[in-house]
A and B are shown apart, each in its own frame.
Chain A
Amino acid sequence: MSNNTWSQIGAVDPNTYTINNTANQTLNAVQIGAQKQNHNIVFHGPSGKEIGRFDFNGDEMKFDGQADTSAKVFVEWARRTFADRALEDKRSVLKEVMDALVHESTGALYEDAEKLAILTCIQRVREIQESVEPAQLTSASDYSANLAKSMAATKNAVATSIIGSVFGGQP
Chain B
Amino acid sequence: MINDDDDIQDYVSTRQKAMAREHDYERILRNATLEEVAKEFDKMPFGDTAASFAIFVRNMKK
Contact = CB atoms under 8 A, between A and B. Distances in A.
B37 A120 contact: no
A97 interface: yes
Contact of B56 (A96, A100, A117, A124): A100
Interface stretch (A86-94, A133-141, A142-150): A86-94
Contacts of B29: 86, 89-90, 93
A56 B44 CA distance: 58
A116 B57 CA distance: 18
A125 B33 CA distance: 11
Contact of A124 (B30, B34, B44): B44
A116 B46 contact: yes
Interface string A90-116: 100110110011001000001001101
Interface residues of A, number: 21
Interface residues of B, number: 18
Nearest to B49: A117
B44 A117 contact: yes
A113 B46 contact: yes
A128 interface: yes
Contacts of A113: 46, 49
Given A89-B33, A118-B53, 8 more contacts: A97-B33, A97-B57, A100-B60, A101-B56, A113-B46, A114-B49, A116-B46, A120-B44
Interface of B: 26, 29-30, 33-34, 36-37, 40-41, 44, 46-47, 49-50, 53, 56-57, 60
